Structure 1
Amino acid sequence: MGPPPDRGGRGRPRPIVLVVIDGFGIGRDPAADAIAAARMPIWRGLLERWPSGVLRASEEAVGLPTGQMGNSEVGHLNLGAGRPVLQDLPRIDAAIADGSFATRPALLRACERARETGRLHVVSLVGPGGVHANDRHLVAMVELAAVKAVPAVRIHALLDGRDTPPRSALEHLRQLEPRLASAHPDARIATVGGRYFAMDRDQRWDRVERGYDAIVHGAGERAVTASAAVEAAYTRGENDEFVRPTVIEGVDGIVRDRDPVVHGNFRADRARQLTHALADRVFVAFDRDGPGGRPAPRDLLVVTMTAYQAGLPVAVAFPPEEARSLAQTFSEAGWRQFHVAETEKYAHVTYFFNGGREAAWPAEDRRLVPSPAVATYDLQPEMSASGVTDALVEAIASDHYDFIVANYANPDMVGHTGVWDATIRAVETVDACLDRVLAAVEALEARDAAGPGALLAITADHGNADRMRDESGAPVTAHSLNEVPIVLHGRTVAGRGMRDGVLADVAPTLLELAGLPRWEGMTGLSLLEGERPADGPPARERAGGGRVLRSAAEPPGGSPA
């Protein structure tokens, strides 16, 4: 089968391949940087020979508040949208600040139902991580319940330890409980449990069942206070993420028929499974009846802070605002696309990269490679990178697709474990996969030596493996605020200059190379030499300084990762 008509203009590269290495930032301290410690000859060779740059991936550069680290959802949304998209965290914060939070119909419905049943349940990740939830939103919900005369509020606290230090929950709970007491006279923590259980996203329903049983049926470990529950978990050797679901004695937090349950997490991927267990009328993943035979409660009103998934029988407080994306533009141009990742990051190269759209665009093929079924990914740092690479290489070699996007999850998912040696292995695994991808691209180019060839763009969505230790040497399991690298490989970019920028600049860069026009509302700018903002500061200032115009003839002084 020959190549399709040149839909983006004469001489465009085909295919354009975008590889996103998850959690792959630019470290500042070599002693804490697993990427710097890893053997990555392929990656470093690309940096030496091809145009590269540095991208901001956190805070205002991606639509997040100052000091807020980037994450996979935000990163892929920005990569696909070509503009910093206002994220759910600042969007909900703004609603609290202007008072419109208290007018959201879904939240008011929950309070109205709670006045009938006597209690409002709120499930939320707690702590300052800000990646999945924020305590400001939890407290605002409790305050709204007080204003609306809800008799009692029961909080089901999910502990972090992944986007926060591994044993920080005790202090977070001690700070949170007085805020809850000030917000409502009968707001109490009814259960606590690590996110490992109720926030699973990989169909490990046995974990979710344990979280569900504690929240709904009051079945699990027992403790006299939330703090005592965490202290007991630490004694058992459990970090925050892995605290067994625990019921607080003396707090009647059992979920009964018709009770309203608000899931306060704003990030969807790790909230879906528990929400299905709470909301679905027909549910087969596990037996929802309690361990002692207590029937599962019926006719619950489940409210989610944001839209977790199309078709969920819930009320949504903050419905999505879909963004135009690269995938839509390529589809409208008649391009054939291929999106591939393993389970952990599949939603990111589909739903998030596509601007919050669940359905594939016409001529968009997708491939999900199952993630390994292990307790934690330090036990198998290779994850399913080989399977992702198999699919990616096959798609490149097929000469069928115009655009391909792939994600390697390893540096992020293994970095979250805080295990240094395993994270190095994870990073080195990705480098070996890049060798295969590069070979596939070069083999395709060799078949058309006189043409423009393919384009390979490699970047990241946020940092993680680049900061594995803090100043004291203690493990860090959270994302970093560091910038991320980007490198371009292909005949059409050889010798060209690149400037530094933000994640939203990737989409217009690919559009320029594709010969396709920008869409209205796109604020990102091409990273290739020559384009500057029509209004506002020059690119150097907008990108936070650093190397502005760099080509393969002017390699950086050392690896940016």
Structure 2
Amino acid sequence: MPQSSNVPNGASAAPKAKYNRPKPVVLAVIDGWGVAPHWGGNAVTLAKIPFMNKAMQEFPHTTLQASGEGVGLPPNERGNSEVGHLNIGAGQVVLQYFPSITKAIQDKTFFSNEVILQGINQAKQNGKRVHIIGLVSPGGIHSHIEHLYALLEVAKQQQFTDVCIHAITDGRDTPPFVSQEFLADVTTKTQELGVGSICTVSGRYYSMDRDHRWERVEKSYRAMVEGVGPTAATPEAAVAAAYRDGFSDEFIPPTVIQGPKNTFKPIMDGDTVIFFNFRGDRAREITQALMKPNFEGFDRKKSVSNLYFVGFTYYEEGLPIHVAFRPHNVKKSLSGVISDAGMRQLHVAESEKYAHVTYFFNGGNEQPVKGEDRIVIPSPHVPSFDQVPEMSTVQIADTVIQNINRYDFIVLNFACPDMVGHTGNLRAAIQSCEAVDANLNKIAQAVAQAGGIFAITADHGNVEQMVNPKTGEPDTEHTNNPVPFIVTGNAVVNCQLRSGGILSDVAPTLLHILNIPKPAEMTGSSLLVVQPQVARSAASTL
């Protein structure tokens, strides 16, 4: 059953609407659905998707840039769900943490960051240890390995060497069997600087869960705090053992490194912990386990207290941590503008992507705006989502349809293409695309019956490249491909959408459709190209 958040009996109150508009306007964000030519590794074009194909024939459509500088990332950097939803909801290109932290390293302000320095100096003064946790990867989605190296440089500058690295291996935003190379590079860097060593190795499956699968998080926690788990003499040996057992980098069991050159040192009371992941959704749970006094996710047989915990960014409201890099302030998100116009809105997703249609879509704000309701539907509890390729798509569509006539604006996320895409299972990815298409069709019919507008887009590419074209191996990573943008409904049937758009153009387009003035803070532009006679005709429908 769907779970609701802040949904009272009946829709939440909002001021009386000020503007005429089609009712409702529904935005579907398909996670990980890019646009690319047909070939043997493109799950989108291999799938039977009659609705999407028909919609692109009969209604205005275009493609949008969802990567690189168009979404506030470095040039050619792949997009991701956090960045995508943030840009869609903000209506402006939002400079992301990755390039801003990298810039701080380049201009040397990183090395005078007061929060980081305080953490290191407190450990130095009190005879404690510094623990660095993070995804050891050049993926740039949740972290970057160069940021880890910069932390080690700061420790050296502060003449502090007692540093333990708790390395999380990737395998999703990188190829699935490359972590030995990255861990070896980290070991080389620690030896060059004379600072620290790797104390634990854990796949992100355990250390970066975001769906309250606490049995996974517990294994990571116990390795770091208690030294419980498999042991290996070196980080590379830990990875090799996992490979022999059939695990890729994502699934490496939390392993304690104990050998002649590596002495395991647990996280203890009063230590400093620096978590260098800059994306919050997969950093929250292990941070909660370490820092929340009333934590209930699992029985912490041994808890730690008085930690000086540094999160690279803001992870979650209420977490008692120090934040090294503050977020870009989005003053006027799409949700806020719709609220100010006196309209009611609903945000719907399954738990794997719930934060994206709420926190990120709302410009990094935890709390709902006035008139906003939220419904979260549990994601399937399975070891790998290719076992249930449709995930909770049906329940999401049914929830939206049930609420069509209660809200002026609805935003929903279909998670399965991205989540199944990360498994590398092409057949399952095709099934996920077909499930999304069938349920988009259901929603489109309901929106049409209600006299509304249905807009469809995606946050980044993934499932359109399930096979590495160079190696023929499964490709589990995001892509740089553009994403679709389609608008269906009688009010726009004769309109056109311009080319050259980016994700931050979505919000101004929806405000155009809703007949709400775009605030000055939104630098994006409406994608709608309306001829004068169409404008007059559409106005009567709008």
Same fold (TM over 0.5): yes
Shift of 1:254: 0.9
Structure 1 segment 340-355 matched on structure 2, within 5 A: 340-355=348-363
SS at match of 1:123: strand
Question: Which residue in the other structure is 1:509 paired with?
Answer: 509
Question: Which residue in the other structure is 1:550 paired with?
Answer: none
Question: Which residue in the other structure is 1:462 paired with?
Answer: 460
Please say if 1:395 is aligned against 2:403: yes
Please say if 1:219 is aligned against 2:218: no
Which TM-score applies when normalising by structure 1? 0.89
The C-alpha deviation readout for 1:139-191, integer Å capped at 9, x for no partner, is 11111111112231110000000110011111222223222333x31321111
Question: Which residue in the other structure is 1:308 paired with?
Answer: 315
- Asked whether the 8 Å contact 1:191–1:253 carries over to 2, the reply is no
In structure 2, stretches of 5+ residues that fail to align are 1-9, 532-542
In structure 1, stretches of 5+ residues that fail to align are 290-294, 446-453, 532-561
Question: Which residue in the other structure is 1:196 paired with?
Answer: 205
Match of residue 346, structure 2, among 315, 324, 338 = 338
Question: Which residue in the other structure is 2:325 paired with?
Answer: 318
Structure 1 segment 178-327 matched on structure 2, within 5 A: 178-182=188-192, 184-250=193-259, 251-289=263-301, 295-323=302-330, 324-327=332-335
SS at match of 2:528: coil
The C-alpha deviation readout for 1:259-284, integer Å capped at 9, x for no partner, is 01111100001100000011112222
The C-alpha deviation readout for 1:505-543, integer Å capped at 9, x for no partner, is 111111111111111232211111269xxxxxxxxxxxx
Please say if 1:159 is aligned against 2:136: no
Cα RMSD between the aligned structures? 1.6
Please say if 1:125 is aligned against 2:135: yes
Shift of 1:29: 5.0
- Asked whether the 8 Å contact 2:16–2:343 carries over to 1, the reply is no
Question: Which residue in the other structure is 2:37 paired with?
Answer: 28
Shift of 1:6: 8.6
The C-alpha deviation readout for 1:271-298, integer Å capped at 9, x for no partner, is 0000001111222211222xxxxx4332
Structure 1 segment 434-445 matched on structure 2, within 5 A: 434-445=440-451
SS at match of 1:424: helix
Please say if 1:58 is aligned against 2:62: no
Shift of 1:7: 3.6
- Asked whether the 8 Å contact 2:95–2:328 carries over to 1, the reply is no
Q: Structure 1 residues 278-287 or 301-310, which shifts more?
A: 278-287
The C-alpha deviation readout for 1:74-102, integer Å capped at 9, x for no partner, is 00000011111000101111111112112
- Asked whether the 8 Å contact 2:123–2:271 carries over to 1, the reply is yes
Please say if 1:135 is aligned against 2:145: yes
Match of residue 417, structure 2, among 411, 416, 439 = 411
Shift of 1:488: 0.4
The C-alpha deviation readout for 1:478-516, integer Å capped at 9, x for no partner, is 101100011001122111111121001111111111111
Shift of 1:207: 0.3
Question: Which residue in the other structure is 1:495 paired with?
Answer: 494
Alpha-carbon distance in 2 for matches of 1:346, 1:76: 11
Alpha-carbon distance in 2 for matches of 1:400, 1:195: 40
Q: How many residues align?
A: 512
Cα 1:5/1:360, change in 2 over 3 Å: closer
- Asked whether the 8 Å contact 1:17–1:404 carries over to 2, the reply is yes
Please say if 1:428 is aligned against 2:428: no
| Percentage identity across paired residues of the two chains | 46
Shift of 1:119: 2.0
Alpha-carbon distance in 1 for matches of 2:127, 2:428: 49
Alpha-carbon distance in 1 for matches of 2:19, 2:287: 46
Please say if 1:78 is aligned against 2:76: no
